[in-house]
A and B are shown apart, each in its own frame.
Chain A
Amino acid sequence: AQRVTQPEKLLSVFKGAPVELKCNYSYSGSPELFWYVQYSRQRLQLLLRHISRESIKGFTADLNKGETSFHLKKPFAQEEDSAMYYCALLGNTPLVFGKGTRLSVIA
């Protein structure tokens, strides 16, 4: 079975502080991992995917198969980063989402 766990419902950080949104997954095969973001009053959208190994809006995420994790990181948080973040896994079934972490960046 596929499962995605985001242990934090809410994460509050100060502007300029580093951010790490945790994501752990359970899947026996080789998964594809994604981070989606939903800003206030906007639709859910893809932020980044592990296979592209890119940095989007300063965010990066590394797939750690040994720890079955895909944490999202940003060295310096900005107020506009405040949003709901969902980690998602694509295995042998349709995309499965974690329950999400609300990031609040305090000025």
Chain B
Amino acid sequence: QVQLQESGPGLVKPSGTLSLTCAVSGGSISSSNWWSWVRQPPGKGLEWIGEIYHSGSTNYNPSLKSRVTISVDKSKNQFSLKLSSVTAADTAVYYCARVVDVVVITFDPWGQGTLVTVSS
């Protein structure tokens, strides 16, 4: 079964760039699925960040679009998130997830999540 694992720095300085990678195991990132990033600030709800297909096609949350880049590395079976110009408001647990139904954007499974703190 497909499993996802996020990795990356747990601390990023304000105005810097947050960079995370999601490794996919048990399946191919080149399958007929989209792949997505979702975040959750401490004590708050879930926020969709964006999604990518193995062809490189992407969709982003309009509120984050100017700062977000999602890319895919098929050779490593992984996809990545970059979020630039970060502030304390970007402190959150970041999850990667497989999109199993692209029409209604159903996520399954999810990675375990990784906490990223923005602080000097």
Do the two shown chains form a genuine complex with each other? no
